[in-house]
Amino acid sequence: TVPKVRLVTRQRAALAGKRILVALDAWPADSRYPHGHYVRTLGDAGDKEVETQVVLLEHDIPFEPFSDEVLACLPDPDNWLTEDEVAKRRDLRHIPVMSIDPPGCKDIDDALHCIQLDNGNWQAGVHIADVTHFVAAGSALDLEAANRSTSTYLVERRLDMLPGLLTETLCSLKGEVDRYAFSVLWEVTPEGDIVDVEFCKSVIHSIAATSYDEAQMMLDDPNRDDIKAQSVRRLNKLAKIFRARRIAAGALTLASPEVRFQLDSESRNPTDVQMYQLKETNALVEEFMLLANITVAKRVLRTFPTLCCLRRHPAPSRQQFAPLLAAVASVGMELDIATSKTLADSLDAAARPGDPYFNKLLRVLSTRCMSPAQYFCSGERTAPEWHHYGLAAPVYTHFTSPIRRYADVVVHRLLAAALGVAPLPAALATKAKLHELTENMNRRHRAAQMAGRASVQLHTLVYFKDRPQRQKAYILGVRPDGVSVLVPRFGIEGTLKLDAAAAAAGGRLACDEEAHALTFTPAPPPASSSGAAAAAPAPAAVLKVFEPVEVYIDVAAAADGAARALRLQLVAPRIGPLPAGLEEEEEEGGGA
């Protein structure tokens, strides 16, 4: 959290309502606030472009244009595909390779294929953009990519790890053009048993760059029998088998609300927001990317057991699970967290009659219990510590997205060296150097995640500024002064502070932590002065974890008047007066 900073300035009036960049100078021991000096004004608080700059600066996301020194490392865009280079590679241009991505994707890292072999088995392939062919180890381009470490995805823009010539053109596995790739080829029986695997530098020619929706239509249309539809169906059959085996081994299926915005073509302001709906083809692609990453990790470890860049996911402690276990116990259920397998089985079995969203809520809350995954050098930890808890995989790495992740660039170089097709770069030759790289990868990855979430929050704020509305929400947790809720329609989480509303209604709140319930008891009705029987007291309102409530979502000015914030207020069950926006609606409608 950025602290308040004490500034000495004669420009107070000019800076009011502005977003400004300051540098910290000192933090005296006897001061609540650090001292700093003014650097520059970013613009008006609340302006979307200004607030986006704030997001990037707060999370230390590099967004400056690439330097001339970096751009000088780029190849000739008209003379990069050469006969000499093609001769060194496996020519797979006759294979019907295709990519499946979100609509409009320009930085296409991966493509797939599945064909039938003469012996009745299938050959499945994952083909990954050969970024390291264009990014020489130790070059200015490589050092800049290592520093940035990841592309950052905001709602309305992408900040690339690599220059656009590589990201969107030479490396991107677009349809109907030749591209260099690093390929993993499996021979698989139709029953899903892998009998052989090959790795090779290749040249491919994708027959189509499709979207998840388009690929899903190929699956769903029984009349489609072209080569693309055949490939997608074979891939999907294998993906289902691989997924079933992973889940049987203890892989988790968790949930995290993810939204997609529809933006106005001119203003780029959001006109609609929806929860992202995963399709069968999303799972298809995910399964083959996981298989490629695991297969590559095993191969690199054979040659470089102490110098492999891996990704681990530590098992959560019982303490991390404690809030979830207590919440589940309050509704008479339990989760077995002994292993990822027992947790997965418990989540699959968890259900409440008449509440179809309950299982999704459990998976959302289970995700909060997880430790973050981390990049690390294999030589720094023992083999049991390499384990990826969420995937139930003994070893795992990232190989499939080198256009947008530097970890994958590192792994490509390690795999090439392991196969003997390229030397091991000096920057990867010691544990100390690999440790330095992985530490920066972890830091940059976390920052990019946080910036992406902040961008979603910013656009959510813009969307609701002119669209206040009532929505169904579910209670995630209770506390003495209110409840935390999730609004499934928009993936919004927030806290409903209820102490002031309860006081305004003359009632009181009582929190039962063991039952995970918050009870509002209204004030008793006043005694009748005429001696008539007193009115019956209003019933108490009980807010309990996992139960639905109705909330009102709008945007309110913050206390200082400079920034605005999304606000959630309880509508039903009713505690205290209605939110101001709803009171106005009721007055216009003649009362409710």
CATH number for position 30: 2.40.50.700
Say how far apart CA 55 and CA 59 lie, in whole Å: 6
What is the structure's pLDDT at 592? 42
Say how far apart CA 309 and CA 407 lie, in whole Å: 7
Q: Is the domain of 378 the same as that of 499?
A: no
Q: Is the domain of 213 the same as that of 93?
A: yes
Dihedral sign computed on CA atoms, order 400, 405, 408, 413: positive
What is the structure's pLDDT at 537? 64
Q: Is the domain of 238 the same as that of 90?
A: yes
Q: Is the domain of 454 the same as that of 505?
A: no
Say how far apart CA 170 and CA 166 lie, in whole Å: 5
Per the DSSP assignment, residues forming a β-bridge with 204 are 179
- For residue 73, which phi and psi values (nearest 5 degrees)? -80, -10
For residue 445, which of 135, 65, 152 has the smallest C-alpha distance?
A: 152
Work out the number of other CB atoms within 10 angstroms of the CB of residue 554.
18
Pairing mode of beta strands 259-263, 270-275: antiparallel
Query: Total structural domains in the chain?
Result: 3
Q: Is the domain of 123 the same as that of 108?
A: yes
* 333 contacts: CB under 8 Å, gap ≥ 6: 350
Of the three residues 58, 84, 101, the one that is the final residue of a domain is 58
Peptide bond into 573 cis (omega under 30): yes
Q: Is the domain of 93 the same as that of 150?
A: yes
Of the three residues 16, 33, 58, the one that is the final residue of a domain is 58
Q: Which two tokens stand for residue 241?
A: 């088998």
Place of tokens 């459990």: 362
Of the three residues 413, 440, 461, the one that is the final residue of a domain is 461
CA separation, residue 551 to residues 450, 496, 541, 554 (Å): 26, 9, 15, 10
Strands of 282-392 (E only): list them. Answer: 309-312, 374-377
Work out the number of other CB atoms within 10 angstroms of the CB of residue 333.
17
- Is 515 domain-assigned? yes
Work out the number of other CB atoms within 10 angstroms of the CB of residue 69.
12
Q: The domain that contains 473 carries what CATH number?
A: 2.40.50.140
Say how far apart CA 126 and CA 116 lie, in whole Å: 15
What is the structure's pLDDT at 561? 47
Q: Is the domain of 308 the same as that of 276?
A: yes
Give the residue numbers spanning the domain of 24.
6-58
With 0-12 / 13-18 / 19 or more C-beta atoms within 10 angstroms meaning exposed / middle / buried, residue 282 is middle
- Is 327 domain-assigned? no
Angle in degrees, CA 568, 571, 572, rounded to 5 = 130
- Is 422 domain-assigned? yes
Say how far apart CA 520 and CA 345 lie, in whole Å: 36
Q: Is the domain of 52 the same as that of 111?
A: no
Neighbour order of strands in the sheet with 6-7 = 6-7, 35-44, 18-26
Say how far apart CA 75 and CA 165 lie, in whole Å: 9
For residue 288, which of 132, 400, 409 has the smallest C-alpha distance?
A: 400
Report which secondary-structure segment, H or E, holds 413: helix 406-419
Please say whether the beta carbons of 513 and 497 come within 8 A.
no
Q: Is the domain of 456 the same as that of 510?
A: no
With 0-12 / 13-18 / 19 or more C-beta atoms within 10 angstroms meaning exposed / middle / buried, residue 575 is buried
- Is 142 domain-assigned? yes
Q: What is the pLDDT along the chain (592 residues), one digit of tens a residue?
A: 667 888 888 888 888 888 989 999 999 998 888 999 989 999 998 889 999 999 999 999 999 999 999 999 999 999 999 999 999 999 999 999 999 999 989 999 999 999 999 999 999 999 999 999 999 999 999 999 999 999 999 999 999 999 999 999 999 999 999 999 999 999 999 999 999 999 999 999 999 999 999 999 999 999 999 999 999 999 999 999 999 999 999 999 887 778 888 888 888 888 888 888 889 999 999 999 999 999 999 999 999 999 999 999 999 999 999 999 999 999 999 999 999 999 999 999 998 888 888 998 999 999 999 999 999 999 999 999 999 999 999 999 999 999 999 999 999 999 999 999 999 999 999 999 999 999 999 999 999 999 999 999 999 999 998 899 999 999 999 999 999 999 988 888 899 999 888 887 888 889 998 889 999 988 777 666 666 556 666 678 899 999 999 999 998 876 554 567 889 999 989 887 777 766 655 555 544 4
Please say whether the beta carbons of 300 and 396 come within 8 A.
no
Q: What is the dihedral of CA 52, 375, 235, 346, to 10 degrees?
A: -90
**Measured in whole angstroms, how far is the alpha carbon of residue 403 from the centre of its chain?**
17
How does DSSP classify residue 189?
A: -
Q: Is the domain of 31 the same as that of 79?
A: no
- Is 361 domain-assigned? no
Work out the number of other CB atoms within 10 angstroms of the CB of residue 104.
6
For residue 373, which of 341, 405, 332 has the smallest C-alpha distance?
A: 405
Q: Is the domain of 378 the same as that of 517?
A: no
Pairing mode of beta strands 122-129, 178-188: antiparallel
- Is 19 domain-assigned? yes
- Is 325 domain-assigned? no
Q: Is the domain of 151 the same as that of 240?
A: yes
Report which secondary-structure segment, H or E, holds 218: helix 212-220
Pairing mode of beta strands 35-44, 6-7: parallel
- Is 339 domain-assigned? no
